Amino acid sequence: MVNLYQVLGVSPDADGAEIKVAFRTLAKVHHPDLHAGDKLAERRFQTINGAYAVLSKPKSRAAYDAGRAAERAAARRRMKSAAVAMAASFLLTVTSGLALASWMHIGGII
């Protein structure tokens, strides 16, 4: 998910006026009329327009913020489960190594 706040260059706690000023500033710089034939500037302008369309309306902004929060929570869960799997793998490896070393020592190999 694209961070719309970063697209407009504002913080997540920015008010509507800050968002509007940031949008207008970026729209003037990246307007397709100023960059005839530049597809990158056109896509950037569309991205800026889309970000403003979401963040300028309180309901859509709240839904976007809720989606970002859910995405961050899911990422934390994935990271936590990966850390648990890595810890379990490490523990299994160490335990296996210790068991093997103990077996070799008892068997008189070492």
Per-residue pLDDT of 61-84, as tens digits, reads 999 999 998 988 888 877 777 777
**The predicted structure's pLDDT at residue 14:** 93
Residue 69 in any domain: the answer is no
Residue 98 in any domain: the answer is no
Residue 92 in any domain: the answer is no
Residue 19 in any domain: the answer is yes
Residue 71 in any domain: the answer is no
Chain-centre distance for alpha carbon 35: 30
What CATH number is attached to the domain comprising 47? 1.10.287.110
Separation between Cα atoms, residue 102 and residue 8, nearest integer Å: 62
pTM above 0.85, yes or no: no
Domain containing 48 equals: 1-56
The total of structural domains in the chain comes to 1
Residue 108 has pLDDT above 70, yes or no: no
- What 3 state SS string does the chain have? CCCHHHHHCCCCCCCHHHHHHHHHHHHHHHCCCCCCCCHHHHHHHHHHHHHHHHHCCHHHHHHHHHHHHHHHHHHHHHHHHHHHHHHHHHHHHHHHHHHHHHHHHHCCCC
Residue 22 in any domain: the answer is yes
Residue 96 in any domain: the answer is no
